[in-house]
Amino acid sequence: MAEQKKRTGLSALADAGNDAEDFSVIDAIGGPRGVVESMLPGVVFVVLFVATSNLNLTIAVSAVLAVLQVIARLVQRQSVMGAVSGLIAVGICLIWAWQTHEARNYYVFGFITNAAYAVLLTISLIARVPGLGLVVEFIRSLPTEQFKAWFDDWMNDQALKRAYMVVTGLWTGLFVLRLLVQVPLYLTDHVAALGVTRLLMGIPFWLWPSG
């Protein structure tokens, strides 16, 4: 019998609780292809705009690329959740840039989402209920019944809670750092530098080589 196909995205994260040894972070975000698909429209946007200074052409090409990624997933009968969510996000960014006639406004939606995540995770840290822990545990074991028992089960595991607090703190720091670095570039209209910085800081930090 053929080897069972690996699940990706939220399904991979949910499976972590059932078979932790086989869990892979890279699989959970869609594998190498998922990383490429999430970054490609942004790469094309900044490269094409810098090369042509034609905002309408840049928007059109980026939009077509995002749609083609979803179509490719559909043709190959693969999960389209990641590609569709990426298409929606890219669509919002492109519409914002098109409506305002400013390329730099492609990145405004990212500022809003990063700020929102930073605020929510900070609140969760202050409340001593790590936001990343809530998300991960909710996906791994959906609490359809006995919510309190589900909540107490992982919150009373001090080692696990401490790990979730650390990870939540790291993610909060990442969102804040993105804003501190990128917003000044936006305000000074350095579109090329902003685009490159956004791409580099958008790469999941667990993909960077260590050492």
DSSP per-residue letters across the chain = -PPPPPP-HHHHHHHTTT-GGG--HHHHTTHHHHHHHHHHHHHHHHHHHHHH--HHHHHHHHHHHHHHHHHHHHHTT---HHHHHHHHHHHHHHHHHHHHT-GGGGGHHHHHHHHHHHHHHHHHHHTT--HHHHHHHHHHS--SS-HHHHHHHHHT-HHHHHHHHHHHHHHHHHHHHHHHHHHHHHHTT-HHHHHHHHHHHHS-GGGSPP-
Choose between 88 and 160: higher pLDDT. Answer: 160
Which pLDDT score, from 0 to 100, does residue 121 have? 95
Which pLDDT score, from 0 to 100, does residue 31 have? 55
Which pLDDT score, from 0 to 100, does residue 23 have? 43
| pTM for this entry | 0.72
Q: Are residues 194 and 174 in the same domain?
A: yes
Distance of CA 148 to the CA centre of its chain: 29
For residue 7, pLDDT beyond 60: no
Of 75, 99, 123, the one marking the end of a domain is: 99
Work out how many domains the chain is built from and give that number.
2
Is residue 158 included in any domain, yes or no?
A: yes
Which pLDDT score, from 0 to 100, does residue 4 have? 44
Of 99, 124, 140, the one marking the end of a domain is: 99
Is residue 44 included in any domain, yes or no?
A: yes
Q: Are residues 48 and 80 in the same domain?
A: yes
Of 99, 124, 149, the one marking the end of a domain is: 99
Choose between 69 and 162: higher pLDDT. Answer: 162
CB 41 within 8 A of CB 65: yes
With bands split at pLDDT 50, 70 and 90, how would you rate the model's confidence at 40? confident
With bands split at pLDDT 50, 70 and 90, how would you rate the model's confidence at 166? very high
Which amino acid appears at position 55 of this protein? Answer: L
Q: Are residues 47 and 136 in the same domain?
A: no
Q: Are residues 89 and 37 in the same domain?
A: yes
Q: Are residues 122 and 42 in the same domain?
A: no
CB 55 within 8 A of CB 76: no
Q: Are residues 154 and 133 in the same domain?
A: yes
With bands split at pLDDT 50, 70 and 90, how would you rate the model's confidence at 35? low
Q: Are residues 155 and 132 in the same domain?
A: yes
Cα→Cα distances 75→27, 59, 69, 70, 72, Å? 21, 24, 10, 9, 5
Which pLDDT score, from 0 to 100, does residue 165 have? 93
Which pLDDT score, from 0 to 100, does residue 51 have? 87
Query: 172 is in which domain, residue-wise?
Result: 103-210
Q: Are residues 192 and 126 in the same domain?
A: yes
Q: Are residues 79 and 171 in the same domain?
A: no
Q: Are residues 60 and 133 in the same domain?
A: no
Is residue 17 included in any domain, yes or no?
A: no
Cβ neighbours, 10 Å, residue 45: 28
Q: Are residues 113 and 186 in the same domain?
A: yes
With bands split at pLDDT 50, 70 and 90, how would you rate the model's confidence at 24? very low
What are 82-140's pLDDT values in tens digits?
667 667 878 888 898 898 899 899 999 999 999 999 999 999 999 999 998 888 888 77
Residue written as token pair 């190959």: 76
